[in-house]
Structure 1
Amino acid sequence: MSDQNPPSSGPSDLRSAVAAGSKKRRTIILTTSAVVAVALIVGVVAIVSNLGGTASSAAGTPAAGERRSVKIATAEDSQFQDAIAAVASEKGLDVTWVNVDDWVLPNTELVAGSVDANAFQHILYLSAFNAQNNADLTPVFSTVITQWGIFSSTLKNVSEIPSGGRVAIPDDPSNGGRALNILASAGLIELAADAGDFPTVENVTSNPKNLQFVALPARDIPLQFNDPSLSAVVVGTSYFDPAQNVSKDDALFLDDSLDEKNLPYVNVVATRADNADDPAWATLKEAYADPRVADALEKEQFGNSVLVDVDVNTLRDKLAELQKSASKK
């Protein structure tokens, strides 16, 4: 978090707002004024809309017999997305998922007008893109939080990471900074007090173990998990393929995703500013809130990612603050 918005004292508003609607569902509700936080995914969905001019109900759901359609670009194919599409269809919104191979295309295609929204990213990543590309992408609602941690295929505790150990961190500014903050929280390094929202290795002021930071694309880090040259990796728990049998319980150190400092890592559905009021987003948000969607996410992610509901004005205010910070880099 930036110096302009320090964490409040006392219990996290985010944590106290967790509602256990069922044993498989954890949904976070935040008020407009709450200074809250939730950690990314990664990320998840890009939305392309081919919306007609038909009227919608006040709640955003098409009137009986009327249908709308959107295309959603995503960085992965999943049962979670299938569940969203199925529920949205019941509400009169036809969703078609379009998979892409990287995290750049969903935003560039959105800016170009090929798609009408996306939801593969957290707001810190979005702020960096907006700042670097003079774009005006904005959140329309929050989706999920992904928990991050430090993992190793050979070690059992962070204290076992050897002097000179090589640690893989993401190579993009937002996730790379997040990884450095996690290493700092684990007591492995210290960061400059003025490092801001996008710390880099240049902001490391203390590195007792003389760790070597290996920058890799975030999505590729789990693929390097068993690389014998790496002592550890820092990545989102949901990034591991289920076949790797790696969960949050295997982390040497697990970030507290419900800490208020993690608001920048809330994943969102985003669109262009001139399309933010389209009623299709209200319908899509209703689909995300359906218990069947929560069940699909739990089945797929085993609790590594959870659905969250953060007030959109809180998201937009934080995005503006982060974007200002990113513009100074």
Structure 2
Amino acid sequence: MRTHIKLATVAATAAVALGLSACGTSSDPGGSSDAGGKADTSKPLVVAASPVPHADILNFVKDNLAAKAGLKLEVKEFTDYVLPNTATQSGEVDANYFQHKPYLDDFNKKKGTDIVPVVDVHLEPLGLYSKKLKDLSDIKAGQSIAIPNDTTNEGRALKLLADNGLITLKDGVGAEGNLSDIKDAKGIEFKELEAATLPRALNDVDAAVINGNYAIEAKLKPAQDALALEKAEGNPYANFLAVKRGHEKDPRVEKLAKLLNSPEVKKFIEDTYDGAVIPAFGPVK
């Protein structure tokens, strides 16, 4: 790594305050069954989700499709990328919907969890945004770019910057790339921040690479506002429904998986998000 790259790792300030109080416990009347036991299919399926677009999509299913399919669905919103998986692992929720496979693979490896994907639902293109700059060509040496600090989204962000000529990565750098894998930063300074805080960081940096769901929550329009946006073709970052291993055949999970890949959900996504969220149905690759 070149010496002119500055690292500023900042602790997350939002979202974690939700804590485990944001979800029911396994002993709560409204909570899910014990993760190690047989699911009680008479209870609602409790799904942890990021607010936008995941919870929005789930609530569309809940309000319009679930009853007809014989599914009771409860949606628990989280605003970070850790608690949904730990709550699923512990049995505090039955499933989650917020992440892509590179992130889950890394999370399972680091945390010792046993979460598995069920079905792909959508893709949120990662984008580079700025409140100060109007074009990629405006980004110069000495300016700052904030990027997500979790392993897979950091690598994904660096690839987006490299694909658009802002930096050069070392040969062979993949999804788990980090700042030390930058061959030439072209004078750009980087700040690593928790993903949920990146929209608020736009006032303090020249640009930021922001995950699609957080961009939408911040009223950014990826198709219009992004200086650079990921391409959908061949993209491995589809978001999916996930459960703790062994719960894939829970009849409630199977019903929800089918509904999430329905023509009604496809139309809802296309009508609601105007290209900022793209249907990506099918088995997880």
Instruction: Compare 271-280 and 164-173 and name the one that shifted more.
Output: 271-280
Query: Aligned to 1:222, which of 189, 199, 205?
Result: 199
Match of 1:76 in 2: 51
Distance 1:274 1:173, change over 3 A: same
Normalised by the size of structure 1, how large is the TM-score?
A: 0.69
In 2, the alpha carbon distance for the partners of 1:244 and 1:273 equals: 36
Q: Check whether the contact 2:119–2:281 (CA below 8 A) recurs between aligned residues.
A: yes
Gaps of 5+ in 2: 1-22, 25-30, 34-38
| Superposition map of 1:211-290 within 5 A | 211-225=188-202, 227=203, 229-241=204-216, 244-258=219-233, 260=234, 262-263=235-236, 265-290=237-262
Whether 1:52 aligns to 2:29 is no
Identity %: 29
Higher normalized contact order (CA 8 Å, seq sep 6+, divided by chain length): 1
Whether 1:311 aligns to 2:283 is yes
In 1, the alpha carbon distance for the partners of 2:56 and 2:86 equals: 26
Please give the secondary structure, in 2, of the residue aligned with 1:195: coil
Q: Check whether the contact 1:80–1:300 (CA below 8 A) recurs between aligned residues.
A: no
Q: Check whether the contact 1:74–1:97 (CA below 8 A) recurs between aligned residues.
A: yes
Match of 2:269 in 1: 297
Gaps of 5+ in 1: 1-45, 54-66, 315-329
CA displacement at 1:195 relative to structure 2: 2.5
Please give the secondary structure, in 2, of the residue aligned with 1:240: helix
Normalised by the size of structure 2, how large is the TM-score?
A: 0.79
| Superposition map of 1:122-201 within 5 A | 122-201=100-179
CA deviation vs aligned residue, 1:27-83 (integer Å, no higher than 9, x gap)? xxxxxxxxxxxxxxxxxxx99755436xxxxxxxxxxxxx66201122216542221
CA displacement at 1:231 relative to structure 2: 1.6
In 2, the alpha carbon distance for the partners of 1:163 and 1:294 equals: 42
Q: Check whether the contact 1:137–1:270 (CA below 8 A) recurs between aligned residues.
A: yes
| Superposition map of 1:34-53 within 5 A | 49-50=32-33, 51-52=39-40
Match of 2:87 in 1: 109
Distance 1:246 1:162, change over 3 A: same
CA deviation vs aligned residue, 1:232-266 (integer Å, no higher than 9, x gap)? 111134422467453322222221122x2x21x12
CA displacement at 1:140 relative to structure 2: 0.9
RMSD: 2.3
Distance 1:237 1:137, change over 3 A: closer
Please give the secondary structure, in 1, of the residue aligned with 2:72: strand
